[in-house]
Structure 1
């Protein structure tokens, strides 16, 4: 089923120590990842500034947002920030957009902006996508409205399903996207994020997941990939063949552990 070569990214919102962020960006580039992506939360670095700093510290690494919460900024502001980072990065910026993750309503309130209804937030994503020029756009989607928007406006569709979702649930979402996108479907790059790589995870991440990663694996959840690099590479290759998922991202704590998988699959 796949139409796209593999590429890989790291999601990070901070780095320890002064100078830690440029160092992280350089290490991600050295390990062969295509992108360094920054989430949009009040507990992490400001995504546009962090993307510009990461680009300044590297030469080939692409940088992006994963993903901008549409209610937090006006479309004109996002277009302005995007054009700035695109210029400063030498054309290496990718804009990721979403209608708001869990917890985003409280953050919008802290920023003094209205969170709005689901329909209004989807409308904001559409307005931003139309306002931004000459920049690849990733849209995080799982429900019908966002899948429809992604099919029309995105270059990349990030499957915004929880880590315990099964491959059958991924397939159902992609089937819906296929029906909506029609002839445009082969042009869409499909992304999924891996929450745990290997056989263990830090305690803070286990608490964040709300369940033991071993339970997620036992129930067939796609977001945890156990085993050695060769086995993980086989899992991802099979997933691409079946589902077309060719753009895979991991959190920064797993960047080193996942690098041998990147080396095996990148560009294939």
Structure 2
């Protein structure tokens, strides 16, 4: 059981966070390879000044691959709600419905980033309301004939309650050395009576830490030792077994990795996608 609902077992799908880190030719080759490996979705982080903006990058990715695309995830304090919603709606239109709007309240330390950008620092107590405003504006722009899927990254009870009412997909923000038991408790108490898809952000695969998915001081050995759900083994057989265990025990069906791990996990994705 998950929250108050009977758990729905969904087909497995896989996304890859693919920032543009080593030039456009290499990035184009990388996302084309992902498209040939069974991944369903190309995802882009929202980190101003580190790389091109997510909207244009995802429009290019959608054209090059034919896959679904999405933000992982928009940081709501960085831009006005209506502008975020307009970009998301536009991407949904331009990709014929293949865009998923991932949104959250921002990574740790976002207050410092906002000051650097000359933007107002939103109090923590207001950040969930900002997410709600973006989703409300997106629904207005979509109108009755379009539904852009919303993916919410949630941490505390306020964000969980918001996602329970609004999100199509929910991913749980977790400290990377949080134990399996602690994360499972949070997933299982989530009120999922609406049947949202449950997703898992996996930044550590073997000894590799994905760019933009974890802090620079992340220690793979410590993450593995904690039996954290932020870790998967690099051995394909062991990874496949663990992914299926997480779906059976927690109802998690959407797994998101860093693009650099895509080659290592390609046999897993090819075997399990759509099952």
The alignment's TM-score, normalised by the length of structure 2, stands at 0.88
> What's the Cα RMSD here?
2.1
Report the counterpart of residue 68 of structure 1 in structure 2: 74
Q: 1:219 aligns with which of 218, 226, 231?
A: 226
Report the counterpart of residue 104 of structure 2 in structure 1: 98
Report the counterpart of residue 3 of structure 2 in structure 1: none
Higher relative contact order (CA 8 A, sep 6+): 2
What is the aligned residue count?
A: 261
1:166 aligns with 2:166: no
Contact 1:75 1:127 in 2 (8 A): yes
Report the counterpart of residue 18 of structure 2 in structure 1: 12
Secondary structure in 1 matching 2:171? strand
Consecutive unaligned residues of structure 2, counting only runs of 5 or more, are 1-6
Per-residue deviation at 1:20? 3.1
Report the counterpart of residue 4 of structure 2 in structure 1: none
Per-residue deviation at 1:197? 1.6
Contact 2:115 2:121 in 1 (8 A): yes
Distance 2:258 2:76 in 1: 22
Per-residue deviation at 1:107? 2.1
Secondary structure in 2 matching 1:112? coil
Consecutive unaligned residues of structure 1, counting only runs of 5 or more, are none
Larger helix proportion, structure 1 or 2? 1
Contact 1:2 1:246 in 2 (8 A): no
Secondary structure in 2 matching 1:37? strand
1:247 aligns with 2:260: no
Report the counterpart of residue 260 of structure 1 in structure 2: 267
Contact 2:203 2:209 in 1 (8 A): no
Contact 1:71 1:116 in 2 (8 A): yes
The alignment's TM-score, normalised by the length of structure 1, stands at 0.91
Secondary structure in 1 matching 2:201? strand
